[in-house]
Amino acid sequence: MNDVAKPGLRQILSSPRLGAVLVMGMASGLPYNLTESTMQAWLKDAAISNTTIGWLSLIGLAYTLKPLWAPLLDRYSLPLLGRRRGWILLFQILLAAALAVMATHGPEQGLVPFAMLALVVAALSASQDIVIDAWRTDLVSPSERGPAATAANLGYRLAAWFSFAGALVLADLIGWRQTYFVMAAGMLAISAVTFFAPEPKLHAPPPRTLQEAVTGPLRQLLAGQGMLWLLLTIVLYKVGDAFALKLLTPFLMDVGFTKTEIGAVTKTVMLVASIAGAVVGGLWLVSLGLVRALLVFGAAQAVANLGYFVVATQGNNLTLMAIAVFLDNFVGSMGNTALVVFIMGICDVRFSAFQYAALSALAVLPRNLLGAPAGILSDALGWAPFFVLTFFTALPGLAMVWWQRHRIALLDLPKT
């Protein structure tokens, strides 16, 4: 019965909700580089030491720690624009104001106040991400999740590119202060869309207490039948991909590519491949369904790792390197899209802010933990055998998807 009622791809893509998801993705992407890569360029222009810049990169921990305050955003709502959009609008206005203040208090006026302002921007940005992820999860139907993940990814990457590459060009033309004012204005302009974006329907009452907002989602995730296996699947699904990419730059340098070649080729190829993979993955997922998408995209991720094995055996060949990087990021982005849809399907509308923040943090756990093992194994085995090994490290995740396929298939059904 659900299959009969399932809308077609043209109907899904014509939904105005996907346009709102695209703009909200831009809202998430715009602030990120302004306290990371773009800010580092400003600090470098201000003659700040690399050591200090390195320490200031810890500001980005706000994005890792966001599950800690996500329950507050599930429990409490503002009296304007509904449960989700009220918070989104508030954070967007505060972000625009914080970026404007940051523009007037550059590192030249004092590093400590500047760092504190950057921390405020990062915390507001992470908080906005919590609610936007919850809003998108609550808003779209199961059949729309793939295209919605694509739209969010596309919006995020376009805005992040503008706030990095565009900001660097603007800084050369008009200076850092005016550049950050432009970014603040951009954030304010995006916030206007929040007024017109749809508010998700609340099919279940939100948590009545803060304790319920913390214990409720945890109890549901840990005590649900088979849920621990689904959580393990989330952790394992990107292990092979994360393992292969963890030391990509040292690998390419060892093969003999120059830093200029690595920077010029990989940055461009990665951006194009990631966007293309997100679009293809999101659209293809509609016809494949979640289980088959996870299997097909995950298998492609494993095979793509062998592209680096070819590069390791053939040596300094720029064309082969570009092809390997493109394929890896193309199928990796497809896998990311399927994983996002997987996480969205697990979330309960009552606790989606906390659950999405926690599950997405769980999904990137391998990327954060595999650096040391990757270094040890690549030194012990050499690069070519190492990348063969990464192929096999992707197989447990695929095995988990196959084993849990019946439970995962239920996530594709509308929730009642």
- Whether 129 contacts 30, CB under 8 Å: no
Domain ranges of the chain: 2-196, 210-410
Instruction: Return the CA Rg of the chain.
Output: 22
pLDDT of residue 1: 39
Q: What is the pLDDT of residues 300-339, one digit of tens each?
A: 999 999 999 999 998 888 889 889 989 998 998 899 889 9
Domains 2-196 and 210-410 share a fold: yes
Question: Rounded mean pLDDT of 255-269?
Answer: 76
Q: What is the pLDDT of residues 362-384, one digit of tens each?
A: 887 777 676 677 778 888 888 89
Residues 6+ apart with CB under 8 A from 263: none
Q: What is the pLDDT of residues 88-119, one digit of tens each?
A: 999 999 999 999 999 998 888 889 999 999 99
Is the pLDDT higher at 71 or at 366? 71
Distance CA 187, CA 30 (A): 7
Residue 399 has pLDDT above 90, yes or no: yes
CATH of the domain spanning 210-410:
1.20.1250.20
- For 354, the token pair is 């906390």
DSSP 8-state code for residue 238: T
pTM: 0.79
Please tell me the total number of residues recorded for the chain in this structure.
416
182 φ, ψ to 5°? -60, -45
Percent of the chain exceeding pLDDT 70 equals 93
At the fourth CATH level, which superfamily is domain 2-196?
MFS general substrate transporter like domains (1.20.1250.20)
